[in-house]
A and B are shown apart, each in its own frame.
Chain A
Amino acid sequence: MENIETKTDEEIVELIRNENKELYGQIIKRYQDKLIRYAEYIIGDHDKASDAVQESFIKAYINLNGFDVKKKFSSWIYRIVHNEAINLIDKNKKIVKLDPDIDFDSGVNIEDSYIKEELVSRAHNCLETMDINYREPLSLYYIENKSYEEISDILRIPMGTVAVRINRAKIILKKICQTKK
């Protein structure tokens, strides 16, 4: 048997569906850290994020035959976690909302490295107050290293909207972080 580590997610999914469901453990190993981190950025609570990810893995398994292996598995599983996290948020309603139409000075030039540094070091403090519409694409882009196209597939919004939200989010993040200093 070929080394499972070298197989792509989509190839493993094919094997799980047709031959060996134990390989689902491999998928869980590959994704659980990233998904918990992602869910934590959305929900803002590690335990709830873990619960959401666990539920997402179960839903993904139940619907595995509905996944089109020509598409990216990662976008599919992130989408499921997104839905699960949003459902959890709706249940708890504890998000602090910012007006998404606030006019920020878009002329500010912000270094990507600065954004990444801010996100990693003080991410929770700054991100918690940011609207989810901006927080999510920002964490997907900088923390999860997803492309605009993947973010578009995960959030189901046009790529142009992804770009706009990330740019706005950078400005908002800088303002929030500077205020908190």
Chain B
Amino acid sequence: MSDKKIGNLKMEKQKNNIENKIMDKVLSGEVKMKPKWYFIMGSITSFVGLVGMIIGAIFLTNLTFFFIRKQGPGTGRINVMLDSFPLWVPILAIALVILGIWMLKKYDFSYKKNFVVVAIVVVIAIILSALIIDLLGLNEQWAKRGPMRRFYMEDSNYRVQPLHRPMNRR
């Protein structure tokens, strides 16, 4: 028998072997399909996670704008501002944006489009949304009442001290 024939027979045997091995596992129940709900839950969870992350990023970006506006980044006050500014807010906002973009990458469209453009659009959309909330004054209302008040009350922890104290005070 020629080498080629022996090779072909060997390959044929290997093929049958693969099929038999897999089908044995499938039919014996050793290998089982994950149920449909597992994938449905996975999709829902990742979608809710993505939306939550984007909403969280918008909120925290807006909170950053709110604090900056309240405190005012005036000349000479930047050091005071940095000392007392709740830095966790912008850091968490950036972390959420990065995480959100990473999650977006899991979706099918991400490799069909120019993903850099998609990421830039997401970042711009988050900043714009935060600015719009700020311009509409929604955060002012949230700071006065409602469940989000405590976030905006963070402001009181780092209130800027006046640079020039009244002379007659000790």
A158 cross-chain contacts in B, Cβ below 8 A: 111-114
CA A157 to CA B33, docked complex, whole Å: 28
Interface 9-mer from B13-21, B54-62, B144-152? B13-21
- Across the interface, do B22 and A152 meet the contact criterion of CB distance under 8 Å? no
Q: Is A22 an interface residue (CB 8 A)?
A: yes
B19-78 residues at the A interface, CB under 8 angstroms: 19, 21-23, 25-27, 31-36, 38-39, 42
Interface string of B108-151 (1 = CB under 8 A from A): 00011110000000000000000000000000000000000000
In the complex, the answer to whether A61 meets B15 with C-beta atoms within 8 Å is no
Chain B residues packing against A (C-beta within 8 Å): 14-15, 18-19, 21-23, 25-27, 31-36, 38-39, 42, 111-114
- A32 CA to B19 CA in the complex, in Å? 8
Apart from A33-B15, A53-B18, 9 more pairs, CB < 8 Å: A17-B33, A21-B27, A28-B22, A28-B23, A54-B21, A57-B22, A61-B33, A158-B111, A159-B112
A28 engages B27 (CB within 8 Å):
no
Quick one: closest A residue to B110, CB to CB? A156
- Bound Cα distance A36, B72 (Å): 65
Per-residue interface assignment for chain A, residues 105 to 118, with 1 indicating a CB less than 8 Å from any chain B CB and 0 otherwise: 00000000000000
Q: What is the distance, in angstroms, from A4's C-beta to the closest C-beta of chain B?
A: 15
In the complex, which residues of chain A have a beta carbon less than 8 angstroms from the beta carbon of B14?
A: 50
CB contact under 8 A between A62 and B33, given known A25-B23, A28-B22, A32-B15 = yes
Instruction: Say what secondary structure dominates the interface of chain B.
Output: helix
Nearest 4 interchain pairs by C-beta: A66-B39, A156-B111, A65-B36, A28-B19
A-B contact pairs, 30 of them (CB 8 A): A17-B33, A21-B27, A21-B33, A28-B18, A28-B19, A28-B23, A32-B15, A36-B15, A50-B14, A53-B18, A54-B22, A58-B22, A58-B25, A61-B22, A61-B26, A61-B33, A62-B31, A62-B32, A65-B33, A65-B35, A65-B38, A66-B34, A66-B38, A66-B39, A66-B42, A156-B111, A157-B111, A158-B112, A158-B113, A159-B112
User: Is A61 within 8 A of B31, CB to CB?
Assistant: yes
Minimum distance in angstroms from A37 CB to a CB of chain B: 11
A162 to chain B, nearest CB (A): 10
Whether A65 and B34, one on each chain, are in contact in the complex, defined by CB atoms closer than 8 angstroms, is yes
Closest CB of chain A to B24's CB: distance in Å?
11
CB under 8 Å from chain B, chain A span 143-181: 152, 156-159
A62 touches B111 (CB 8 A): no
Interface string of A122-145 (1 = CB under 8 A from B): 000000000000000000000000
Chain B residues contacting A156 (CB-CB under 8 Å) are 111
Rounded to whole angstroms, the CA-CA distance of A63 and B36 in the bound complex is 9
**A65 vs B34: C-alpha distance in the bound complex, in angstroms?**
7
Q: Would you give the 0/1 interface string for A27-38, flagging 1 where the beta carbon is closer than 8 Å to chain B? A: 011001100100
